[in-house]
Chains A and B, each alone.
Chain A
């Protein structure tokens, strides 16, 4: 019963069943299958999907057991029957049974040379690795390759399958014997898809197109140039280069999108500023017109909403992260808008303060501002913050909210946030307390070495930051450095200050 079809696990959504170059073209539910003119009892209620390579039947009742897949490449012929009275319309497919037993369905495989994982593909199986072009080894399921096929006749070295000359002595290898071609049976099988809920015409049109497109052959030809790239390092380099250019293209197009978005944002700002200008104009006019007429009730009601509206626009702009650099809204710095800005900064400070006390530091003693900025922006989603705004808010958070954190600029210019114990003064004090006072022992005792690595371990900071902390202490003349013969740098207490000449 439909034995020549492959069974698939229909409980998996059809999109996940597709392989690399396969595309889902159309779907129709409420179909049943006929096998050689007979109703197939297990396949009477299901959904059929046509992809560029396959026809998938997913059974409604028992998807994991009764679902089937048919390679379109095995379809020799298709016919369409209109429904008549109780008979629903059907599509008949005449199948080439001979080609079905060939292992068309290509499992994914890992290249033995470059370890590239070649994806599963349909149609004709890949014979070469997509990345380096090395010949694909024989299926691992078959017994270990017959050794004599690739054993060098001269030096008896057993070569990799697919090699044309011996790896050791360069002697041309005998070509492996071609596989015995399975005897073709000319028996023809037919299957029918019965459309019980309609949709037949549209589905058949798509199926017909897919059969004509012969996607399983197209992928093969698309693979050809890659095979021509040749094997070896240059082949790999070419493949990597083409991948890189493809990703560059996609990044470029993505950035183009971003630029378009920025342009939109600019026009938004312009719109908002004209709006607020209009509102201010209106409020000026209304206060002019209302003041002479009646002073009792109208001035209040007509002029109060306008500042609110202005500030609302500004607030929403701030919320969107669009700050008005030269717009008239900020320029006309009446008490209202500057107050808004201050409040905006205050709220930002509260937000970042919350983040910091929620463990943004991650238990580390010292974190670069770039990291905090990225983490905060990630938390904010689309409302990104400019670095200046970020630093202003952070300074406010540190001075105003008592987070118990300090900020310092390292020698490289990197600004970091640190716990109080890592401030310059307390770090240096701790560093020197671990060193005995100078000239108290032998040379070995006097010189306690500090390397970035062990400072990083002791102080729980990153190694690069530890090196900068040590350099800051060195700049103060507390340490001096020793460059070891192989280039490593280590620091020890600078004794020059307290030392007096004791030689001849």
Chain B
């Protein structure tokens, strides 16, 4: 395998296919397109996990310096993903349940689910129990910006709400509505 894999300064290793020109062209033949799309969605999700990116928008295709530029643009071969191509990739991600449109009723911006909602719920519960914050009321801000960096640092509020909903479903949490933002109380496991 002599094709060069490129390792980004951030430590992420791009697949060798990323340095092939046609990878950045929206293929027209259905079978080829299916494989190409599969690789792209995998790349997007693994990079998002690596760089802790939660949102992806069609506009990112045009940004040569944005958070997504490292994978959507390859300066070595002067190729970038076209917005229309990215939009169809986003649609595929949504169809596979790996993302959902946020805000809803548009198709240009998505929240990526590189962890499923149940996984996020589990992460939240583990974090709360590890830091000894069970049965106390936590504000969203305390979860999103803890003093010690955690898995949940920077998680967008809509995603956090959904994760809490998943915990509520297994009756391990309670949502408390407040005037400012609101909070959540996570109970010790009832299992």
B96 at interface by CB-CB < 8 Å = no
Q: Do A495 and B1 form a contact, CB below 8 Å, given A503-B46, A504-B50? A: no
When distances are taken between beta carbons in the complex, the residues of chain B under 8 Å from A482 are 21-22, 24-25, 79
Taken together as a complex, chains A and B put the C-alpha atoms of A485 and B20 apart, in Å, by: 14
**A474 to B35, Cβ gap below 8 A?**
no
Taken together as a complex, chains A and B put the C-alpha atoms of A439 and B15 apart, in Å, by: 13
Taken together as a complex, chains A and B put the C-alpha atoms of A499 and B39 apart, in Å, by: 10
Taken together as a complex, chains A and B put the C-alpha atoms of A261 and B91 apart, in Å, by: 61
**A485 to B78, Cβ gap below 8 A?**
yes
When distances are taken between beta carbons in the complex, the residues of chain B under 8 Å from A447 are 20-21
**A481 to B20, Cβ gap below 8 A?**
no
With CB as the reference atom, state the residue of chain A lying closest to B1: A439
9-residue interface stretch from B26-34, B144-152, B155-163, B167-175: B26-34
B109 at interface by CB-CB < 8 Å = no
> Total A-B pairs in contact (CB under 8 Å)?
80
B72 CB to closest chain A CB, in angstroms? 15
B185 at interface by CB-CB < 8 Å = no
Taken together as a complex, chains A and B put the C-alpha atoms of A481 and B32 apart, in Å, by: 10
B189 at interface by CB-CB < 8 Å = no
When distances are taken between beta carbons in the complex, the residues of chain B under 8 Å from A440 are 2
With CB as the reference atom, state the residue of chain A lying closest to B12: A504
Per-position 1/0 for A465-483, Cβ under 8 A of B: 0000000001101001111
Taken together as a complex, chains A and B put the C-alpha atoms of A1 and B67 apart, in Å, by: 100
**B29 to A439, Cβ gap below 8 A?**
no
A494 at interface by CB-CB < 8 Å = yes
**B4 to A503, Cβ gap below 8 A?**
no
Interface residues on A, range: 20 to 34
A10 CB to closest chain B CB, in angstroms? 71
**A499 to B32, Cβ gap below 8 A?**
no
Taken together as a complex, chains A and B put the C-alpha atoms of A501 and B14 apart, in Å, by: 10
When distances are taken between beta carbons in the complex, the residues of chain B under 8 Å from A485 are 78-79
A295 at interface by CB-CB < 8 Å = no
A142 at interface by CB-CB < 8 Å = no
**A496 to B4, Cβ gap below 8 A?**
no
B169 CB to closest chain A CB, in angstroms? 33
Interface positions, chain B 36-52, Cβ under 8 Å from A, are: 36, 39, 42-43, 46-47, 50
Interface residues on B, range: 35 or more
When distances are taken between beta carbons in the complex, the residues of chain B under 8 Å from A502 are 1, 3, 5, 15-16
Taken together as a complex, chains A and B put the C-alpha atoms of A482 and B22 apart, in Å, by: 4
A280 at interface by CB-CB < 8 Å = no
Taken together as a complex, chains A and B put the C-alpha atoms of A377 and B5 apart, in Å, by: 60
Q: Which of A477, A483, A503 contacts B32 (CB 8 A)?
A: A477
With CB as the reference atom, state the residue of chain B lying closest to A476: B29
Q: Do A496 and B36 form a contact, CB below 8 Å, given A439-B3, A440-B2? A: yes
B137 at interface by CB-CB < 8 Å = no
With CB as the reference atom, state the residue of chain A lying closest to B5: A502
Q: Which of B20, B31, B35 contacts A443 (CB 8 A)?
A: B20
When distances are taken between beta carbons in the complex, the residues of chain A under 8 Å from B79 are 482, 485
Taken together as a complex, chains A and B put the C-alpha atoms of A90 and B50 apart, in Å, by: 114
**B22 to A492, Cβ gap below 8 A?**
yes
A247 CB to closest chain B CB, in angstroms? 42
**B43 to A443, Cβ gap below 8 A?**
no
When distances are taken between beta carbons in the complex, the residues of chain A under 8 Å from B12 are 504
B13 at interface by CB-CB < 8 Å = yes
A446 at interface by CB-CB < 8 Å = yes
With CB as the reference atom, state the residue of chain A lying closest to B77: A443
When distances are taken between beta carbons in the complex, the residues of chain B under 8 Å from A179 are none
With CB as the reference atom, state the residue of chain B lying closest to A441: B2
**A495 to B35, Cβ gap below 8 A?**
no
When distances are taken between beta carbons in the complex, the residues of chain B under 8 Å from A446 are 3, 20
When distances are taken between beta carbons in the complex, the residues of chain B under 8 Å from A480 are 22, 25, 27, 29, 32, 36
**B25 to A483, Cβ gap below 8 A?**
yes
Known: A439-B2, A482-B22. 7 other contacts (CB 8 A): A474-B29, A480-B27, A496-B36, A501-B39, A503-B13, A503-B14, A503-B15
List residues of chain A with CB under 8 Å of any chain B CB: 439-443, 446-447, 474-475, 477, 480-483, 485, 492, 494-497, 499, 501-504
Listed from nearest, the 5 A-B pairs whose CB atoms lie closest are A503-B15, A482-B21, A496-B35, A482-B22, A480-B22
Can you give 15 A-B contacts (C-beta < 8 A)? Answer: A439-B3, A439-B16, A441-B2, A442-B3, A443-B3, A477-B29, A481-B28, A485-B78, A485-B79, A492-B21, A492-B22, A501-B15, A502-B1, A502-B15, A504-B47
